[in-house]
Structure 1
Amino acid sequence: MSLHLATTPEANALLAEDPLALLVGMLLDQQIPMEKAFTSPQVLAERLGVARLDAVQIADYDEGELEELFRRVPALHRFPAAMAKRVRELCRALVEQYDGDTASVWTTAADGPELVKRIAGLPGFGQQKARIFTALLGKQFGVRPAGWDTAAAAYGESGSFRSVADVVDGESLKKVRDFKKQAKAAAQAGT
Structure 2
Amino acid sequence: MEATLHLAQDPEADALLGRSPLAALTGMLLDQQIPMEWAFKGPATIAGRMGAWDLDAHEIAAMDPEAFAALLSEKPAVHRYPGSMAKRIQQLCRYLVDHYDGDAEAVWRDAGDGPALLKRLEELPGFGRQKAQIFLALLGKQLGVRPTGWREAAGAYGEERSFRSVADITGPESLAKVRAHKQEMKAAAKAAGAAKAAGR
| TM > 0.5 fold call | yes
With the shorter chain as reference, the TM-score category is over 0.9
Q: Which of the pair has more CA radius of gyration? A: 2
Tell whether 2:68 aligns with 1:66.
yes
Give the aligned partner of residue 57 of structure 1. 59
Q: CA RMSD in A?
A: 0.8
| Number of positions where the alignment pairs a residue of Structure 1 with one of Structure 2 | 191
Runs of 4+ in 1 over 6 A off after TM superposition: none
Q: Any stretches of 5+ residues in structure 1 without a counterpart?
A: none
Structure 2: distance between partners of 1:20 and 1:102: 5
Aligned 1:168-183 pairs, distance under 5 A: 168-183=170-185
Instruction: Give the TM-score of the pair, scaled to structure 2.
Output: 0.94
**How far has the Cα of 1:51 moved from its partner?**
1.0
Structure 2: distance between partners of 1:69 and 1:27: 17
Instruction: Give the TM-score of the pair, scaled to structure 1.
Output: 0.98
**How far has the Cα of 1:7 moved from its partner?**
3.2
The amino acid that maps onto 1:38 is F
2:20 equivalent among 18, 21, 33: 18
Give the aligned partner of residue 84 of structure 2. 82
Structure 2: distance between partners of 1:117 and 1:49: 34
Structure 2: distance between partners of 1:21 and 1:54: 9
**How far has the Cα of 1:188 moved from its partner?**
1.2
Conserved in 2, the CA contact under 8 Å of 1:11 and 1:39?
yes
Structure 1: distance between partners of 2:111 and 2:81: 32
Conserved in 2, the CA contact under 8 Å of 1:138 and 1:148?
yes
**How far has the Cα of 1:37 moved from its partner?**
0.4
Give the aligned partner of residue 96 of structure 1. 98
Give the aligned partner of residue 110 of structure 1. 112
The amino acid that maps onto 1:34 is M
Structure 1: distance between partners of 2:89 and 2:25: 10
The alignment partner of 1:30 has SS state of coil
2:163 equivalent among 157, 161, 164: 161
